[in-house]
Amino acid sequence: MTSYEKLDLRYVGTIGSGTFGRVDLAWSEPSKQHYAVKKFSIHDVRGDVTLFETIMVVQEGHTEYVNRERQILRCLDNPFIVKLCINSHLRVCTQMDKFNLFLVTEFVEGGELRDYLGDMSEEDLYAAVRFYSMEIICALRHIHPKNIVLRDLKPENLLLSRDGHVKISDFGLAKVLKGKTYTICGTPEFMAPEILSKKGYGMDVDWWSLGILLFELITGRTPFSGDTQEETFEAIRKGDLRFPDGFHAEAR
């Protein structure tokens, strides 16, 4: 029996990939619904991976990484956050075989937010970014009172539901805080100066990432970047923010 059969699921196709493996689309006959299955390759997690995106996996192990994402998703209930699947048809929301770990979540079929915004006029773009920023803020205000820091807010992790609302889809780098944390992790262009300082940080880093995210959604690029990762970090530390000509005054 395959891992999908153990979960009462039928593999449909692959809909995405990431550092640790891929995201598959699966069908549940009992519930008559599609689900997204995050498939983590044990070999990939232990092998050649990017330090700043996976340092916690190297330190704590792949099983702990997936279990932490599962535990965090279980305590979140917000319309702008992807839901972990726990119901009568999918009794187990995680599964492990010899080579892979699986995490089953709702399928968000609208695709990435960034793709939806791509062909908009300038006026419509500003209105849409304003609307979706409010939904993301609502999600963060649900997450932070639970002492959870997200640490990976970026366009790739924002999906759209069928009815056009945003959903944060990846909590792989999220952590429950018991004070300051010191781990250097995240996507370099979206990392806050506090993360790079190595002096400890809290949930404020998510608000920094939100600002970077909104800048990119409007301009198509991040405000701090360089030819190398270290140049990007140095630009973040300096904080020399320059808005392009024509940047909407209200968006500043």
Over residues 195-205, mean pLDDT: 95
Among the options 24, 44, 152, 170, which is catalytic? Answer: 152
- Homologous superfamily of the 113-238 domain (CATH): Transferase(Phosphotransferase) domain 1 (1.10.510.10)
As a whole number of Å, the end-to-end CA separation of the chain is 55
Half-sphere exposure of 242 (CA within 13 A, CB side): 6
Residues of the chain above pLDDT 70, percent: 77
Residues of the chain above pLDDT 90, percent: 50
- Class of 3-106 per CATH? alpha beta
Torsion, Cα of 21, 23, 26, 32 (10° steps): 150
The token pair that represents 215 in the structure block: 């800048």
| Contact criterion met (CB below 8 Å) for 62 and 42 | yes
pLDDT, tens digit, 9 for 90 and up, residues 201-227: 999 999 999 999 999 999 999 999 899
- Given a cut of 80, whether residue 54 has pLDDT beyond it is no
Phi, psi of 38 (to 5 degrees): -80, 120
| Contact criterion met (CB below 8 Å) for 102 and 3 | yes
Poorest-pLDDT segment among 74-83, 118-127, 229-238: 118-127
In the block, which residue shows the tokens 């519930």?
Answer: 31
- Given a cut of 60, whether residue 182 has pLDDT beyond it is yes
| Global pTM value | 0.84
Which segments of the chain belong to CATH 1.10.510.10?
113-238
Q: What's the mean pLDDT when you consider all of the chain?
A: 83
Q: What is the pLDDT of residue 29?
A: 84
Which segments of the chain belong to CATH 3.30.200.20?
3-106
Q: For residue 51, name the pLDDT band (cuts at 50, 70, 90).
A: very low
The yes-or-no answer on residue 204 being catalytic is no
Question: For 11, which DSSP code?
Answer: E
Phi, psi of 117 (to 5 degrees): -80, -15
3-state helix, strand, coil in the chain (%, to 5): 40, 20, 40
Q: What is the pLDDT of residue 67?
A: 77
